[in-house]
Chains A and B, each alone.
Chain A
Amino acid sequence: MAKKPNQKTYVYLNGRIIGHVADPTAFVNEVRSARRTGNLSGEVNISYMPKLGTVNINTDRGRIRKPYIIVENGKPKFTADIKDRLDRKEIDFNYLVRSGIIEYLDAEEEENALVAFNEAGITEKTTHMDVDLASIFGFTVNMAPYPEHNNLARHAMLANFIKQAEGMYATNFNLRFDSRAYILYYPQAPISTTTPYTSTRMAQHSAGQNFVVAISTYYGYNMADAVVINKAAVDRGLGRSTFYKSYTDEERRYPGGQRDMFRIPPPTAEGYLGEHAYSKLSEDGIIEPEMPVEEGDVLIGKVAPPRFLEESLGASGLEEKIRDDSSTLKTGERGIVDSVVFTESPGATKIVKVRIRSQRVPEVGDKFASRHGQKGVVALITPQEDMPFTPSGIVPDLLINPHSIPTRLTFGYLLEMLAGKAGSVTGQFIDGTAFSEDGTKRTEDCGKMLEQYGFDKYGEEELYDGITGKRFGAKLFTGCIYYHRLYHMVSNKMQVRSRGTVQILTHQPTEGKARQGGLRFGEMERDVLIGYGASLLLKERLLDQSDKTDVLICKDCGAIGYYDYIKKVALCPICRGSNLVDIEISYAFKLLLDEIKSMHILPTIKLKD
Chain B
Amino acid sequence: MFMAKEDKKQDQATQVAIGEAVGTVAAQSIGEPGTQMILRTFHYAGIESTIATSGLPRIVELVDAKKKPTTPLTYTYLNDNIKNNFEKATDMTKRINEVYLADVAKRVVESFSKGTITIVLNRQEVEANDLTAKQIASKIEKAFNLDTTVEDRRITVNVHTKDLRKIRSTTTKLYESVVSGVEGAGKAVIRQDKKTQEFYVVSAGSALEPIMELEGVDKSRIYSNDIFAMYRVFGVEAARNSLIKELKQTLQEEQGISISDRHLMLLADAMTMSGMIKSVGRHGLSGEKNSVFARAAYEETVKHLINAAAFGETDPMKGVTENILVGKQIPLGTGAVRLTVKKEDLAKLKPKKSKD
Contact = CB atoms under 8 A, between A and B. Distances in A.
Contact of B330 (A535, A548, A584): A535
Interface string B17-28: 001110011011
A536 B314 contact: no
* 8 closest A-B pairs by CB: A533-B333, A535-B335, A586-B327, A543-B327, A601-B309, A531-B24, A589-B326, A535-B330
B305 interface: yes
A58 to B, nearest CB: 35
A551 to B, nearest CB: 10
Interface in A14-68: none
Interface string B78-92: 000000000000000
B273 interface: no
Given A527-B28, A596-B305, A606-B314, A533 B332 contact: yes
A532 B327 contact: no
A585 interface: yes
B317 to A, nearest CB: 9
Interface residues of B, number: 24
A538 B327 contact: no
Given A542-B327, A548-B327, A589-B327, A534 B333 contact: yes
A539 interface: yes
A526 interface: yes
B324 A533 contact: no
A533 B19 contact: yes
Interface string B292-334: 0000000000000100010000100000100011111111111
A530 interface: yes
A584 B327 contact: yes
Contacts of B327: 539, 542-543, 548, 584-586, 589
Contacts, number: 65
Nearest to A549: B327
* Interface core residue of B24, B324, B335 (most chain A CB under 10 Å): B324
Contacts of A585: 326-327
A539 B24 contact: no
Contacts of A592: 325
17 contacts: A530-B21, A530-B332, A530-B333, A533-B332, A533-B335, A534-B333, A534-B334, A535-B329, A535-B335, A539-B327, A543-B327, A548-B327, A584-B327, A586-B327, A588-B325, A589-B326, A606-B314
B28 A539 contact: no
A535 B326 contact: no
Contacts of B324: 526, 538, 542
Given A527-B27, A530-B21, A530-B320, A535 B334 contact: yes
Interface string A509-544: 000000000000000001110111111101100110
Nearest to A528: B28
Contacts of A543: 327
A586 B297 CA distance: 15
Interface string A583-595: 0111011001000
Interface in B1-52: 19-21, 24-25, 27-28
Contact of B21 (A533, A586, A589, A596): A533
B305 A533 contact: no
A531 B21 contact: yes
B320 A536 contact: no
A531 B28 contact: yes
A526 B329 CA distance: 13
Contacts of A606: 314
A585 B334 CA distance: 20
A536 B309 contact: no
B109 to A, nearest CB: 31
Interface of A: 526-528, 530-536, 538-539, 542-543, 548, 584-586, 588-589, 592, 596, 601, 606
B349 to A, nearest CB: 18
Nearest to B22: A531
Contacts of B336: 533, 535
Contacts of A596: 305, 309
Contacts of B309: 596, 601
A533 B333 CA distance: 4
Nearest to B309: A601
A127 B9 CA distance: 82
A606 B330 CA distance: 18
Contacts of A534: 333-334
Contacts of B19: 533
* Interface core residue of B19, B20, B21, B25 (most chain A CB under 10 Å): B21
A543 B324 CA distance: 8
A347 B336 CA distance: 68
* Interface core residue of A526, A530, A538 (most chain B CB under 10 Å): A530
Contact of A535 (B24, B25, B27, B332): B332
A527 B333 CA distance: 12
A538 B330 contact: yes
Contacts of A526: 324
A532 B328 contact: no
Contacts of A584: 327
B229 to A, nearest CB: 34
* Interface core residue of B19, B309, B329, B333 (most chain A CB under 10 Å): B333
A603 to B, nearest CB: 8
Contacts of B334: 533-536
Contacts of A531: 21, 24-25, 28
Interface string B202-236: 00000000000000000000000000000000000
A337 to B, nearest CB: 47
A540 to B, nearest CB: 10
Nearest to A587: B327
Contacts of B335: 533, 535-536
A535 B20 CA distance: 11
Given A532-B333, A535-B331, A535-B334, 16 more contacts: A528-B28, A531-B28, A533-B332, A535-B333, A538-B329, A538-B330, A539-B328, A539-B329, A539-B330, A542-B327, A543-B327, A586-B325, A586-B327, A588-B325, A589-B325, A596-B309
A527 B28 CA distance: 8
A202 B53 CA distance: 54
Interface in B141-156: none
A571 to B, nearest CB: 23
Contact of A530 (B24, B305, B328): B24
A533 B336 CA distance: 9
Given A526-B324, A527-B27, A596-B305, A533 B329 contact: no
A43 B331 CA distance: 73
A539 B326 CA distance: 10
A526 B326 CA distance: 15
A524 B338 CA distance: 27
Contacts of A536: 329, 334-335
Nearest to A526: B324
A528 B332 CA distance: 13
A543 B332 CA distance: 17
Contacts of B305: 596, 601
A347 B27 CA distance: 61
A459 to B, nearest CB: 40
* Interface core residue of A531, A542, A586, A601 (most chain B CB under 10 Å): A531
* Interface core residue of A527, A535, A588 (most chain B CB under 10 Å): A535
A543 B327 CA distance: 6
Nearest to A541: B324
Contacts of B325: 586, 588-589, 592
Nearest to A537: B334
Contacts of B320: 530
A179 B248 CA distance: 56
Contacts of B328: 539
A517 to B, nearest CB: 21
Contacts of B25: 531
A534 B329 CA distance: 10
* Interface core residue of A526, A533, A539, A589 (most chain B CB under 10 Å): A533
Contacts of B332: 530, 533, 535
Contacts of B326: 585-586, 589
A585 B322 CA distance: 12
